[in-house]
Amino acid sequence: MKIGIDIDGTITHPSSCFNYMNKYLGTSIDFEMASEYELHTYTDMEQIEFWEFMVKSGHELGIYRESIPQELVKQHLWALRKQYDLHYVTARSEIVRPVTEEWIKQHELPLDSLIMTGSHDKVQVVRDLSLDLFMEDRLENAIQIAEDTSIPVILFDAPYNRRPLPENIVRVSSWDEAVQTIHKFAPIR
């Protein structure tokens, strides 16, 4: 079985970006009350303006460097790698590949396949890699993948994605729960 795995909010803890913004940008976002995925909505900037600022000021790289991994993700990814083909599929742009690979190495995570889409649309990657299952935290991505490809999607729970889900999306609250769900969809090799 081939599994696609998002990085931000799935491998990394979903509060990482919000904590970074509070620490370095002077925001005071309560993660548990964060109802929007898009970070610019917590500022007075439009999305393009926000990301231009983040890139030019070095904060985009900072967020990625300082993100913390989800609890037990390292152990679970290594165990899954023994049984399945893992592909990290991130909306991060190709320009941040070195920082992304450095972070993966720093946290001793397995790395066989890293696809940097540069956009939230991951459907074509799912098709190109013939993925059988996808793991995501952004609700809109999960719905698009589930509807356009018909593969099951595991959605990591976060305050910003708590809305009703289509049938082939399963919400989980931990990596322990995610692995149990994966094994329901595919037998262990």
Q: Does residue 189 surpass a pLDDT of 80?
A: no
Which domains, ranges and CATH numbers included, belong to the chain?
Answer: 2-12+69-185 (3.40.50.1000), 16-66 (no CATH)
pTM: 0.94
How many CA atoms are closer than 13 Å to the CA of 102, on its beta-carbon side? Answer: 10
Sign of the torsion formed by the C-alpha atoms of 139, 120, 22 and 75:
positive
The answer to whether the beta carbons of residues 70 and 172 sit under 8 Å apart is no
Q: How far is CA 48 from the centre of its chain?
A: 21
With bands split at pLDDT 50, 70 and 90, how would you rate the model's confidence at 188? low
Q: What are the pLDDT digits (tens) for 31-84?
A: 999 999 989 999 988 999 998 998 899 999 999 999 999 999 999 999 999 999
Q: Where are the beta strands (DSSP E) in the chain?
A: 2-5, 85-90, 114-116, 133-136, 153-156, 169-172
How many residues in total does the chain contain?
A: 189
Q: Does residue 186 surpass a pLDDT of 80?
A: no
Q: Count the Cβ atoms, other than its own, within 10 Å of residue 130.
A: 10
User: What is the rounded CA–CA span in Å between residue 92 and residue 74?
Assistant: 20
Q: What are the pLDDT digits (tens) for 107-147?
A: 999 999 999 998 889 999 999 999 999 999 999 999 999 99
The answer to whether the beta carbons of residues 53 and 45 sit under 8 Å apart is yes
